Amino acid sequence: MTPFSCAEGRFGGDPHCALRNTDCGEEQLQRVLKVVKAGFAQRRKTAVNALSAGLSMTKEQVTEALAACGQSANVRFEQLDMETLLALTEQLFNA
């Protein structure tokens, strides 16, 4: 079981509704929230563009992290499910 759950299986853009903190540390929670805020800060952008701008990372770093999670560079942030979001957060901050 992941430390977060989402009723519909997709993130959907509402962190107050989708994140259910069950067994994660404050540091992990803050990282996930930072990624979520960056991912939704710019409307109608790919995850690469939104995250690179919002997290001050290069597009190459974000593209590599997405690829490590089995995602295309063209994916939009709202298309990521919770499991992918958690894996992406780990890739971005622990790479």
Would you tell me which CATH number, out of the four given (1.10.150.120, 1.10.8.100, 3.40.190.10, 3.40.50.300), belongs to the domain 15-94? 1.10.8.100
Whole-prediction pTM: 0.76
What confidence tens digit (pLDDT) does each residue in 26-73 have? Answer: 888 899 999 999 999 988 899 999 999 999 999 999 999 999 999 999
* Cβ pair 47, 66 in contact under 8 A: yes
Which residues, in sequence order, are CB contacts of 71 under 8 Å at separation 6+? Answer: 47, 80, 84, 88
pLDDT at 24: 65
Burial 33-44 (b: 16+ CB within 10 A, else e): ebbbebbbeeee
Any idea what DSSP says for residue 81? B
pLDDT at 19: 57
